[in-house]
Amino acid sequence: MPSIRVVNFSKHFGKVKAVDNVTFEVEDGEFVALLGPSGCGKTTTLLTLAGIYKPTSGEIYFGDQLVNDVPPKYRNVGMVFQNYASIHT
């Protein structure tokens, strides 16, 4: 697997800043958890890594590849949802 790089990533839903300028990197083989209070943007970040959301601004890289516009089926990313019926929690 390539590394994952999230650079100055923001995702806004109208006036709601679900994620506001986040930068982090995950190396190949690292096991990383996003930890934070309810509503801080963890799920929104994961959905964007999976390609379900596009960033409002910023860049997502898998290795050297900018994947902002790569659809989910071409990302080779698995995601297990928090709830079966809703992606909004």
Ligand X SMILES: Nc1ncnc2c1ncn2[C@@H]1O[C@H](COP(=O)(O)OP(=O)(O)OP(=O)(O)O)[C@@H](O)[C@H]1O
Which residues of the chain form contacts with Mg ion (CB under 5 A)? 42-43
Least separation in angstroms between residue 42's CB and ligand X is 3
SS3 content of the chain, % helix, strand, coil (to 5): 15, 35, 55
Least separation in angstroms between residue 63's CB and ligand X is 25
- Where helices occur in the chain by DSSP H, the ranges are 42-50
Answer whether 5's CB lies under 8 Å from 61's CB.
yes
Name the closest residue to Mg ion (Cβ): 43
> Which one, 42 or 75, has the nearer CB to ligand X?
42
> Which one, 39 or 63, has the nearer CB to Mg ion?
39
> Which one, 20 or 63, has the nearer CB to ligand X?
20
Answer whether 50's CB lies under 8 Å from 75's CB.
yes
